[in-house]
């Protein structure tokens, strides 16, 4: 992945956007810190993150989420908040 500074992005935005449209991802830094990653639109974001090692693939298909049963809470949210604030 190519890295450019904020100033380079401002001065060469046309060239950089053409490279992105051609499929390249570009990291934009500001004061030495990564401020943004510009990548081609419409790609599979999860697949790209997995390829970069920043995410892991799902363990099961999305359709299996429908079978997950919702748990019934023992206490209501307002009771939990009151307890944490010491006013219970």
Tens-digit pLDDT profile for residues 18-75: 999 998 999 999 999 999 999 888 777 788 788 888 899 888 888 888 888 888 889 9
Task: Pick 1 or 8 by higher pLDDT.
Answer: 8
Calculate the alpha carbon distances from 2 to 44, 51, 78 in Å.
Answer: 19, 16, 49
- CATH number, domain at 65? 3.40.1620.10
Position 87 in a domain: no
Position 34 in a domain: yes
The parent domain of residue 22 ranges over 2-82
Position 72 in a domain: yes
Position 88 in a domain: no
Residue 13 has pLDDT above 70, yes or no: yes
Residue 16 CA, chain-centre distance (Å), reads: 22
How many domains does the chain divide into?
A: 1
Length of the chain: 88
């Amino acid at each position: 992945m190519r890295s450019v500074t904020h100033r380079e992005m401002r001065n060469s935005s046309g060239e950089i956007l053409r490279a992105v449209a051609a499929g390249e991802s570009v990291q934009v830094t500001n004061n030495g810190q990564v401020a943004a990653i510009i990548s081609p639109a419409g790609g599979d974001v999860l697949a790209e993150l997995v390829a970069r090692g920043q995410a892991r693939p799902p363990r099961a298909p999305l359709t299996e989420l429908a079978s997950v049963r919702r748990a019934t809470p023992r206490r209501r949210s307002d009771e939990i908040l009151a307890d944490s604030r010491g006013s219970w």
